[in-house]
């Protein structure tokens, strides 16, 4: 045919089901399987082909099919139920926030990546899932919250294995018309554009909105005709480029992100930096204050007073640091805009690095984030501890435990990852409103009423679905790689539904040690092929495109999976994403995680598995160190670190095999009822992990520990044109200048030995160099083992200070005396950054 033109006829929703379109644009459907089913039923084929994307499905579906659904009473009944649930969710008045967080001010949350659903691939892994889940629970709890991120047109990447199990990356250009996003419009209904100057180029940024239940996510986009081709690529790929691109993306997220909030009149009084990627938001926030007439230091105090920073990684490569001259290129104008010296600004981010054998100053995103916030946290108790150690050097004179980095242990959004079958089963024993109080530990005790049989029935169904899914995926992969018909046919015997099935899926960062299981292949072969108690494994995960060692891990597992004794029993699946993740956490019997402790800041996939009754089997790192209670899963290795990594790997691998052979497999294939039955562990896992590691608990912790206190501090420091912030800034400058002129000497009158209950006298002589006594804390510090206690000394005659200190328990005490300057309104005692020990 000679084509003279083309036209697309878009299907029209019949009025009976008109709201399918509205619902498609609210990610409420992403954690609501019965809502998803409304779309799936219109065309199961399109649903699968387009990554379960309702917007796309409504663009592609046949008009006839829509008309038929609109006349189908059963469909309409389900439609009405979904819409009623959706309306109840959106319209709910007596929410958690109304009763618990009325004084909270609106939060702006910044993250480089978000994982909401597989059809919106703007995430790479756990950090994104955490951010997406945080948004979902912010919506569930109804806190005032807006998220800011980037619209990556090519997302992360699609992972393809070649014939030899080597990872290749494919980048698909997203078609924005098929995504559940709208251009953001201001009150006047006009599309919003903001702009940002980077390296002298004025870059236009379009803002999109994504509705996630009750809250909004703003996504920044530079792919606009008015931008150069280079600048259009700023929002092409997540973690795609070199350092130069990274810095520019950070400027974009931080600076354009704040401008987008302002352009849309989005209220924000607390700012949450999710990882150091977001730290440059502070540049723009300080600029606003400077433009409003504040000096740099007062602007710094004001901006920081309402900012929270969450750090996510103890791995050095995860904490970006850039050479100063690179920063000059991209933020060179900012010292001028902020009326600050270059060294004054960069000094807030300075972290000297060993480069080419020299120590050179570098601009660290983490250091900048720590200095630009007045609250910081790690993402598990152990990670908090590790972070305090890592960043102790920023607080000279402070004990590690005093470093002002706390922790909120991560959670996961239960409903996003819990299978519909498990939800239905839970609904038979939990109260009607269980999905609204997921963090309620007492409520979850009702899980004990579930019978062994009920649980195993649901789990068997989920496992069948997973195996079918895996076979389908592997078949596609083999066909694409030109495998023989015999090999393709073999897929039908891949994995066995009666075999204990262990899942391992996550990013293939090397510290996660995906190949630890292969350390003793003979022993593994015996475990896998045990005639009475066989075990099979499913792996999945992406390596960063530049991470060849990570790709080599993938290939190693792939090759092992092709060896005769492992074939069909060890499988590695392509393209790990949220879809694959859901199948695996819902379908396996056990979830395995064996990172090199203490590098797994938290980990969350094991939580998702436990929600579905798959107990966790993991190194006591991150969340599992808190979650494991002796009966709800299994540990690997001991609660310790090793100097020799090889020794650590050996010890952990040995323990892994040992537990599998002696505890886990015998239990799985053993008693069907009672305290030692498999179902008993399953119930414990669901009951204990679901509330404590719910995202709902996590967000509540953030509200109470950080969002509310920062709301109050931020307001206090910024009121009346930042009067208090100015006083604090002035005071800090003054004490820093005086500090070198101060001095302290001290004596402790200590007997050689003492009895519990005895008192000792500690005294000090201080030259405060003009710092007022009420602004100086002179204190004795007593250390006994891990315990550190502080006792203020009382100001006596002249320059002397003293105190009697009770030694209330036995043990070896170390005594020290120090002083530090304090003023009302600081976020913590170390904020001035000055400590002097006698």
Ligand X SMILES: *Cc1c(COP(=O)(O)O)cnc(C)c1O
> Least distance from C-beta 544 to ligand X, angstroms?
13
Find the part of the chain contacting ligand X (CB under 6 A) among 84-92, 288-296, 603-611, 678-686.
Answer: 603-611
Among 535, 578, 735, 793, binds ligand X (CB under 6 A): 578
Among 581, 609, 728, 830, binds ligand X (CB under 6 A): 581
Of 123 and 271, which CB lies nearer to ligand X in the complex structure? 123
Q: Does 604 bind ligand X (CB under 6 A)?
A: yes
> Least distance from C-beta 543 to ligand X, angstroms?
13
Site for ligand X in 758-777 (CB under 6 A): none
* C-beta separation of 370 from 381 below 8 A: no
Q: Show the site string, 66-105: x = touches ligand X by CB under 6 A, - = not.
A: ----------------------------------------
> Least distance from C-beta 172 to ligand X, angstroms?
17
> Least distance from C-beta 173 to ligand X, angstroms?
21
Alpha helices in 414-516, H assignment, sequence order: 414-417, 420-427, 452-480, 485-490
Of 27 and 744, which CB lies nearer to ligand X in the complex structure? 27
Of 32 and 282, which CB lies nearer to ligand X in the complex structure? 32
> Least distance from C-beta 619 to ligand X, angstroms?
11
Nearest Cα to Cα of residue 520 among 401, 653, 382, 609: 653
Of 156 and 334, which CB lies nearer to ligand X in the complex structure? 156
Backbone angles phi, psi at 32, to 5 degrees: -130, 90
Of 124 and 146, which CB lies nearer to ligand X in the complex structure? 124
Alpha helices in 292-364, H assignment, sequence order: 296-305, 324-331, 334-337, 342-347
> Least distance from C-beta 410 to ligand X, angstroms?
8
Of 125 and 633, which CB lies nearer to ligand X in the complex structure? 125
Of 283 and 592, which CB lies nearer to ligand X in the complex structure? 592
> Least distance from C-beta 604 to ligand X, angstroms?
4
Size of the site for ligand X (CB under 6 A): 13
Q: Does 577 bind ligand X (CB under 6 A)?
A: yes
| Pairing of the two strands 270-274 and 362-364 | unpaired
Of 237 and 608, which CB lies nearer to ligand X in the complex structure? 608
> Least distance from C-beta 622 to ligand X, angstroms?
8
Q: Does 561 bind ligand X (CB under 6 A)?
A: no
Q: Does 404 bind ligand X (CB under 6 A)?
A: no
* C-beta separation of 755 from 744 below 8 A: no
> Least distance from C-beta 68 to ligand X, angstroms?
35
Taking each continuous run of H as one helix and of E as one strand, the counts in the chain are 32, 30
Secondary structure (DSSP) of 213-235: TTEEEEEEE---TTS-HHHHGGG
Q: Does 587 bind ligand X (CB under 6 A)?
A: no
* C-beta separation of 596 from 646 below 8 A: no
> Least distance from C-beta 384 to ligand X, angstroms?
17
> Least distance from C-beta 605 to ligand X, angstroms?
3
Of 126 and 165, which CB lies nearer to ligand X in the complex structure? 126
CA 745/CA 346 separation, integer angstroms: 35
Find the part of the chain contacting ligand X (CB under 6 A) among 310-318, 549-557, 600-608, 611-619.
Answer: 600-608
Of 129 and 570, which CB lies nearer to ligand X in the complex structure? 129
> Least distance from C-beta 306 to ligand X, angstroms?
29
> Least distance from C-beta 314 to ligand X, angstroms?
14
> Least distance from C-beta 129 to ligand X, angstroms?
4
Nearest Cα to Cα of residue 384 among 409, 406, 410: 406
According to DSSP, residue 191 is labeled B
Cis, bond preceding 598 (omega within 30 deg of 0): yes
Two tokens, residue 425: 């089963």
Alpha helices in 2-53, H assignment, sequence order: 19-24, 33-40, 44-49
CA 157/CA 319 separation, integer angstroms: 22
Site for ligand X in 209-248 (CB under 6 A): none
User: How many CA within 13 A on the CB side of residue 789?
Assistant: 11
Of 27 and 263, which CB lies nearer to ligand X in the complex structure? 27
Q: Show the site string, 709-738: x = touches ligand X by CB under 6 A, - = not.
A: ------------------------------
Among 550, 598, 603, 635, binds ligand X (CB under 6 A): 603
Q: Centre a 10 Å sphere on the Cβ of residue 405 and count the other Cβ atoms it contains.
A: 24
Of 514 and 817, which CB lies nearer to ligand X in the complex structure? 514
Of 157 and 707, which CB lies nearer to ligand X in the complex structure? 157
Nearest Cα to Cα of residue 524 among 559, 572, 470, 570: 570
* C-beta separation of 536 from 495 below 8 A: yes
> Least distance from C-beta 638 to ligand X, angstroms?
21
Nearest Cα to Cα of residue 555 among 502, 509, 515, 596: 515
* C-beta separation of 84 from 694 below 8 A: no
Find the part of the chain contacting ligand X (CB under 6 A) among 45-53, 96-104, 289-297, 597-605.
Answer: 597-605
| Pairing of the two strands 215-221 and 270-274 | unpaired
Find the part of the chain contacting ligand X (CB under 6 A) among 71-79, 295-303, 599-607, 826-834.
Answer: 599-607
Find the part of the chain contacting ligand X (CB under 6 A) among 301-309, 571-579, 650-658, 698-706.
Answer: 571-579
Calculate ∠ Cα 68-73-79, nearest 5°: 85
Nearest Cα to Cα of residue 587 among 417, 423, 687, 464: 464
Of 105 and 608, which CB lies nearer to ligand X in the complex structure? 608
Q: Show the site string, 461-500: x = touches ligand X by CB under 6 A, - = not.
A: ----------------------------------------
Residues 6+ apart with CB under 8 A from 149: 110, 111, 112, 113, 114, 122, 131, 217, 218, 219, 220, 253
> Least distance from C-beta 415 to ligand X, angstroms?
14
Q: Does 506 bind ligand X (CB under 6 A)?
A: yes
Of 66 and 578, which CB lies nearer to ligand X in the complex structure? 578
User: Can you tell me whether residue 644 is helix, strand or coil?
Assistant: coil
Of 126 and 821, which CB lies nearer to ligand X in the complex structure? 126
Q: Does 307 bind ligand X (CB under 6 A)?
A: no
User: How many CA within 13 A on the CB side of residue 19?
Assistant: 16
Q: Is 314 left (phi over 0), alpha (psi -120 to 50) or beta?
A: alpha
CA 63/CA 58 separation, integer angstroms: 9
Find the part of the chain contacting ligand X (CB under 6 A) among 279-287, 309-317, 318-326, 577-585.
Answer: 577-585
> Least distance from C-beta 609 to ligand X, angstroms?
9
Rg of the chain over all Cα atoms, to the nearest angstrom: 29
Among 605, 614, 632, 718, binds ligand X (CB under 6 A): 605
* C-beta separation of 122 from 253 below 8 A: no
Q: Show the site string, 117-136: x = touches ligand X by CB under 6 A, - = not.
A: --------xx--x-------
> Least distance from C-beta 596 to ligand X, angstroms?
13
For tokens 């208090």, name the residue. Answer: 724
CA 521/CA 565 separation, integer angstroms: 10
User: Can you tell me whether residue 782 is helix, strand or coil?
Assistant: strand
Secondary structure (DSSP) of 535-599: EEEEEE-PPPTT-HHHHHHHHHHHHHHHSTTTTTTEEEESS--HHHHHHHHHH-SEEEE---TT-
Of 404 and 411, which CB lies nearer to ligand X in the complex structure? 411
Chain residues binding ligand X by CB under 6 A are 125-126, 129, 506, 576-578, 581, 593, 603-605, 608
């Amino acid at each position: 045919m000679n084509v003279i033109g083309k036209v697309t006829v878009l299907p029209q929703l019949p009025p009976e089901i008109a709201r399918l379109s509205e619902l498609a644009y609210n990610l409420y459907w992403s954690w609501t399987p019965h809502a998803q089913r409304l779309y799936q039923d219109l065309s199961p084929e399109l649903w699968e082909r387009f990554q379960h994307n309702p917007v796309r499905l409504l663009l592609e579906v046949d008009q006839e099919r829509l008309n038929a659904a609109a006349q189908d009473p059963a469909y309409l009944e389900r439609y009405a139920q979904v819409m009623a649930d959706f309306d109840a969710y959106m319209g709910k008045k007596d929410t958690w926030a109304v009763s618990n967080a009325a004084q909270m001010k609106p939060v702006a949350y910044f993250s480089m990546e978000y994982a909401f659903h597989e059809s919106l691939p703007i995430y790479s892994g756990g950090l994104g899932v955490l951010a997406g889940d945080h948004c979902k629970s912010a919506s569930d709890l109804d806190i005032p919250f807006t998220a800011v991120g980037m619209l990556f047109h090519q997302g992360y990447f699609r992972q393809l294995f070649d014939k030899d199990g080597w990872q290749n990356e494919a980048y698909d250009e997203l078609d924005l018309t098929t995504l559940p996003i709208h251009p953001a419009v201001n009150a006047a209904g006009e599309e919003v554009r903001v702009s940002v100057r980077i390296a002298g180029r004025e870059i236009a940024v379009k803002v999109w909105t994504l509705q996630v239940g009750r809250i909004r996510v703003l996504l920044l986009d530079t792919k606009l005709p008015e931008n150069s081709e280079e600048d259009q690529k700023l929002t092409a790929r997540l973690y795609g480029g070199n350092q130069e691109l990274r810095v520019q993306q950070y400027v974009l997220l931080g600076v354009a992100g704040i401008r987008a909030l302002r352009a849309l009149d989005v209220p924000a009084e607390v700012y949450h930096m999710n990882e150091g990627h977001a730290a440059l938001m502070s540049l723009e926030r300080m600029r606003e204050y400077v433009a409003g007439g504040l000096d740099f230091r007062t602007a710094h105090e004001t901006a920081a007073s309402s900012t929270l920073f969450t750090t996510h990684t103890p791995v050095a490569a995860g904490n970006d640091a850039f050479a100063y001259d690179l920063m000059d290129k991209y933020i060179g104008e900012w010292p001028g805009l902020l009326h600050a010296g270059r060294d004054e600004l960069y000094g807030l981010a300075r972290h000297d690095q060993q480069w080419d054998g020299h120590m050179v100053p570098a601009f660290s995103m983490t250091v900048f984030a720590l200095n630009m916030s007045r609250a910081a946290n790690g993402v598990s108790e152990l990670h908090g501890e590790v972070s305090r150690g890592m960043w102790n050097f920023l607080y000279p004179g402070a004990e590690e435990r005093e470093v002002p980095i706390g922790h909120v242990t991560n959670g996961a959004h239960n409903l996003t990852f819990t299978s519909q079958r498990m939800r239905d089963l839970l609904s038979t024993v939990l109260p009607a409103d269980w999905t609204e109080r997921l963090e309620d530990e007492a409520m979850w005790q009702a899980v004990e009423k579930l019978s062994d049989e009920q649980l195993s029935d649901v789990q068997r169904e989920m496992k069948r679905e997973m195996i079918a899914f895996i076979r389908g995926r592997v078949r596609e992969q083999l066909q694409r790689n030109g495998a023989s018909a015999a090999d393709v046919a073999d897929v039908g015997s891949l994995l066995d539904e009666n075999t204990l099935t262990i899942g391992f899926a996550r990013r293939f960062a090397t510290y996660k040690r995906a190949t630890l299981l292969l350390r003793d292949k003979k022993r593994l072969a015996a475990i896998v092929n045990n005639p009475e108690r066989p075990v099979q494994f499913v792996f999945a995960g992406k390596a960063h495109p530049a991470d060849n060692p990570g790709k080599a891990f993938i290939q190693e597992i792939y090759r092992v999976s092709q060896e005769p004794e492992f074939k069909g029993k060890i499988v590695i699946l392509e393209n790990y994403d949220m879809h694959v993740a859901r199948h695996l956490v819902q379908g396996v019997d056990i979830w395995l995680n064996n990172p090199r402790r203490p590098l797994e800041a938290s980990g969350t996939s094991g939580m998702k598995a436990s929600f579905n009754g798959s107990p966790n089997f993991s190194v006591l790192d991150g969340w599992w160190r808190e979650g494991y209670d002796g009966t709800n899963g299994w540990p690997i290795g001991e609660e310790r670190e090793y100097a020799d990594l090889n020794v650590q790997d050996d010890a952990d691998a040995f323990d892994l095999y040992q537990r599998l052979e002696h505890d886990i497999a015998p239990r799985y294939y053993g008693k069907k009822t009672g305290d030692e039955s498999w179902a008993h562990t399953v119930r414990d896992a669901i009951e204990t992990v679901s509330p404590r590691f719910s995202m709902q608990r996590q967000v509540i912790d953030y509200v109470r520990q950080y969002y509310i206190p920062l709301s109050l501090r931020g307001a206090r420091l910024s009121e009346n044109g930042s009067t208090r912030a100015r006083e604090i800034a002035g005071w800090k400058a003054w004490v820093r200048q005086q500090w070198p002129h101060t001095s302290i000497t001290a004596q402790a009158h200590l007997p050689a030995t003492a009895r519990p209950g005895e008192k000792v006298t500690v005294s000090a002589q201080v030259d405060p160099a003009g710092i007022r006594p009420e602004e100086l804390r002179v204190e004795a510090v007593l250390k006994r083992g891990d315990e550190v206690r502080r006792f203020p000394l009382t100001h006596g005659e002249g320059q002397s200070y003293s105190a009697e200190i009770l030694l209330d328990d036995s043990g070896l005490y170390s005594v020290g005396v120090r002083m530090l300057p304090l003023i009302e309104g600081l976020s913590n005692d170390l904020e001035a950054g000055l400590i002097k020990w006698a």
